[in-house]
Amino acid sequence: MGPGILVKSLLQGSFSLMVFGWAQIIMDIQPLVVLITGEGHLHGFSHTYVGASLLAIFAALSGKYLSEFGLYILDISTESAPVKISWWVAFLSAFIGTYSHVVLDSIMHIDVQPFYPFSYLNPMLGFVGVITLHKFCLYSGLVGAVIYFSIRVVLKQPGK
Ligand SMILES: [Zn+2]
């Protein structure tokens, strides 16, 4: 979620953190099922760029209305000031979500084959250490939060 918050701070209303987060959940359903059942390839087809493309389309289609409902539940969206997520924002957020997920997971998980079925190689593996990777996610989120709220204060806009 950290990098998502950073992207949100930069793209503001052109990016949906809700759809991005929904895409993260969808991406890890397959590994979760594998962990529970003990069967199958842990980071299988879902963690390839081909699989992530399909899941991004699904995340955008299902995430637009789900996220609008979530924003309503969280009171960010109200009857008088409804927050609508446009389709292009939903798709952009979903694709950024699933592709960045594959990139980050391929750095830290040895069984990820991001370019399957074209290649079994994972050139990103070990690009940086796991601790560095986790720090990157944490700090990008903190930096993103600072940028996001700084821009809000400067523009004096109500939060969306
Ligand atoms: Zn994953």
pLDDT over 70, % of the chain = 98
Distance 111 CA to ligand 1 centre (A): 11
Q: Specify the pLDDT at position 157.
A: 65
**Strand, coil or helix: 61:** helix
The terminus-to-terminus CA distance of the chain in angstroms comes to: 17
Confidence of residue 74 (pLDDT cuts 50, 70, 90): very high
Confidence of residue 44 (pLDDT cuts 50, 70, 90): very high
| Alpha-carbon span 5 to 139, nearest angstrom | 10
Residue 10 predicted with pLDDT over 60:
yes
Task: Work out the angle between the directed axes of helices 49-73 and 87-108 (0-180°, nearest 10).
Answer: 120
Distance 76 CA to ligand 1 centre (A): 28
Residue 118 predicted with pLDDT over 70:
yes
Average pLDDT, integer, range 47-76: 96
Distance 77 CA to ligand 1 centre (A): 29
Q: What are the contacts of 99-103 at 24+ separation with CB within 8 A?
A: 99/49, 99/52, 99/56, 100/3, 100/4, 101/23, 101/24, 101/27, 101/47, 101/52, 102/27, 102/47, 102/48, 102/49, 102/52
Distance 105 CA to ligand 1 centre (A): 6
Q: Specify the pLDDT at position 25.
A: 97
| Alpha-carbon span 112 to 52, nearest angstrom | 12
| Alpha-carbon span 47 to 128, nearest angstrom | 19
Of the candidates 23, 21, 22, 41, the residue with the CA atom closest to the CA atom of residue 31? 41
Length of the chain: 160
Distance 121 CA to ligand 1 centre (A): 17
Of the candidates 24, 22, 27, 59, the residue with the CA atom closest to the CA atom of residue 42? 27
pTM for the predicted model, two decimal places = 0.92
Q: Specify the pLDDT at position 158.
A: 61
Confidence of residue 155 (pLDDT cuts 50, 70, 90): confident
Beta-carbon neighbours within 5 Å of ion ligand 1: 28, 105
Q: Specify the pLDDT at position 156.
A: 79
Distance 28 CA to ligand 1 centre (A): 5
Q: Specify the pLDDT at position 94.
A: 98
- 47 within 8 A of 29, measured Cβ to Cβ: no
Specify the residue for token string 């040895």: 110
Residue 160 predicted with pLDDT over 90:
no
